[in-house]
Amino acid sequence: MLLPLHSRKNVLLHGLPGSGKTTLVERLVNKIPYPKRGFYTREVREKGRRIGFKIVTLDGKEAWLAKRGKGYPQVGKYKVYVELFEKLAVPTISEIKDDEIVIIDEIGKMELFSKSFQEAVLKVLDSKSPVLATVGYGLIPFVEELFKRDDAIFAEVTPESRDYLVDRVAVEFYRQGLLIAIEGLDGAGKSTIIEGLAKKLEEKGEKVYVTREPTSGEWGQKIREHLAAGSKISPQAMAELFLRDRREHAQKFLIPKLQEKQIILCDRYYLSTMAYQGACELDVKELKKANETWAPVPDLILYFRVPVKEALKRVNQRKLYKPEVFETEEFLSRVASLYEENLKYFRHEIIDASANPEEVLAQAWKVLTNYLDEWKKRFT
The residue among 320 and 23 whose pLDDT is bigger is 23
**What is residue 167's three-state secondary structure?**
helix
Nearest Cα to Cα of residue 263 among 372, 363, 153, 132: 372
Q: What is the mean pLDDT of residues 215-232?
A: 88
pTM of the model as a whole? 0.93
Binding site feature residues for ATP: 184-191
- What are the extents of the domains in the chain? 10-173, 178-377
Tell me how far apart the alpha carbons of residues 197 and 350 are, in angstroms, rounded to a whole number. 16
Query: Binding site, residues?
Result: 184-191
Query: Model confidence over 316-334: pLDDT tens digits?
Result: 877 554 555 567 889 999 9
**pLDDT-based confidence at 117, cuts 50/70/90?**
very high
CATH for 178-377 is 3.40.50.300
In terms of residues, how long is the chain?
Answer: 380
In whole angstroms, give the CA distance from residue 249 to residue 178: 16
Handedness of CA 301, 266, 198, 186 (dihedral sign): negative
Give 280-302 as a DSSP string: TT--HHHHHHHHHHHSPPPSEEE
Q: Distance between alpha carbon 191 and the CA centroid of its chain, in Å?
A: 25
Are the beta carbons of 100 and 34 closer than 8 angstroms? yes
DSSP 250: I
Mean pLDDT for all residues in the chain: 93
| Residue 139: alpha-carbon gap to chain centroid | 24
**In CATH, what number does 10-173 get?**
3.40.50.300
Query: Any idea of the CA torsion for 134, 139, 140, 141, to the nearest 10 degrees?
Result: 120
Q: Which residue has the higher pLDDT, 58 or 313?
A: 58
- Predicted confidence at residue 273, as pLDDT, reads 96
Q: Is 355 helix (H, G, I), strand (E, B) or coil?
A: coil
The answer to whether 10-173 and 178-377 have equal CATH topology is yes
